Amino acid sequence: MQETPYDFEAGAILLMDKPLTWTSFDVVKKTKFSLRIKKIGHAGTLDPLASGLLILCTGKFTKRIEEIQAQEKEYTGTFVLGHTTPSFDLETEIDSTAPTDHLTEEMLREATNSFLGEIDQTPPIYSAVKINGERAYALARRGEEAEIKSKRITIKQFELTSIAGNQVAFKVVCSKGTYIRSLARDFGLKLGCGAYLSKLVRTRIGEYRLEDAMSLEQLQELREKQLAHHDRHPGA
């Protein structure tokens, strides 16, 4: 974390490390309350079951949200092969199982190649995509079926960083709009055994990196230091 002097009200770009289970809106809401600022938004949603870099923009920098959202993203995480879930992650229970003993490391690494470059990807039904004005996940949780249109995305890098049984760790560099949960599903389909996403961390957005991010507690501490400094040096 870099202790940069921020003018939170006038405008700042804040690199936050989103905790597991928090929604992106939770981070925005808690930061807004903590800093006592009016104008704040985030530049790219992270699912509650994902952690890592979430960029918040305050004040005049809210105008840069779309620009930041458009930059490429980098993720690390883990796929579980041989099982599927309706949400493609741990939000829902396993609904199918298939053998994986026949899969070799060579087969796994070869399968990643078919996802490189521009591809069509269908977002998960358990996602914030809007269908006739309603979020897809709301329909899914009511047990309703809906058709989600595929969209063109770009995967610049898809690398398997370790393989331990049916647990496959990966690193992905991709364009805006890529769903790593959908990549898990499609990777499992390619291998013929199914897969779901068990862990996801966003490590980079453009040039902004997770190692420079801070927790909400660190942000509060930084804010308190600034207020204390201002009290001691009112004209500074």
Radius of gyration of the chain (CA): 20
Residue type, 133: G
User: Minimal CA–CA distance to 155: which of 125, 186, 128, 126?
Assistant: 186
Considering the candidates 47, 186, 212, 231, report the single residue annotated as catalytic.
47
For CA atoms 154, 156, 158, 161, give the dihedral sign.
negative
Backbone φ and ψ of 25, nearest 5°: -65, -35
Q: Are strands 167-174 and 151-164 parallel, antiparallel or unpaired?
A: antiparallel
**C-alpha to C-alpha distance for 180 and 100, rounded to whole angstroms:** 21
Q: Is 47 a catalytic site residue?
A: yes
**Contacts for 64 with CB less than 8 Å, ≥ 6 apart:** 13, 43, 57
- Active site residue ranges: 47
